[in-house]
């Protein structure tokens, strides 16, 4: 079974600085997606970034970028120029492409605080 691990329950970053959130996963499959979701205090789940496992190039979305290391099964999220609105829970997630659909498997989350 696939698992997702986030070893940092809490992180903090100074406003305008850069922070990296860690994520590792375990799977025997070769085709899958990886995601980072943001959950602010409103509890809405917001998709931050998506990475297809077959792509070697790391995904980027404005200030958000990932470091995808497929062999190491590592998928970290880097937030540049951190803003107060980035404060939230961040969940790393995995989805298999083995079947025509599949559920998303979430890690336990990292709580990010942004210090003014």
- Restricting to residues 10-49, name those near another protein by CB under 8 A: 35, 37, 42-47
> Do the beta carbons of residue 50 and residue 35 sit within 8 Å?
yes
- How many whole angstroms separate alpha carbon 8 and alpha carbon 15? 19
- For position 64 contacting another protein by CB under 8 A, the verdict is no
Q: Which of 70, 84, 82, 85 is nearest to 25 (CA)?
A: 70
- How many whole angstroms separate alpha carbon 42 and alpha carbon 39? 7
Indicate the residue among 18 and 108 with the shorter CB distance to another protein: 108
28, 85, 101, 116: residue in contact with another protein (rule CB under 8 A)? 101
Indicate the residue among 74 and 80 with the shorter CB distance to another protein: 74
- Enumerate binding residues for another protein (CB under 8 A): 4, 35, 37, 42-47, 50, 91, 95, 97, 99-101, 103-109
């Amino acid at each position: 079974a696939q698992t997702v691990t986030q070893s940092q329950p809490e992180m903090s970053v100074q406003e305008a600085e850069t922070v990296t959130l860690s994520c590792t996963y375990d799977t025997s499959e070769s085709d899958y997606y990886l995601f980072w979701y943001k959950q602010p205090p409103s509890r809405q789940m917001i998709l931050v970034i998506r990475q297809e496992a077959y792509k070697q190039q790391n995904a980027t979305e404005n200030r958000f970028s990932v470091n995808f290391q497929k062999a190491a099964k590592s998928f970290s999220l880097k937030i540049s120029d951190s803003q107060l609105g980035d404060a939230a829970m961040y969940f790393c997630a995995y989805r298999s492409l083995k079947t025509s659909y599949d559920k998303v498997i979430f890690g336990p989350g990292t709580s990010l605080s942004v210090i003014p």
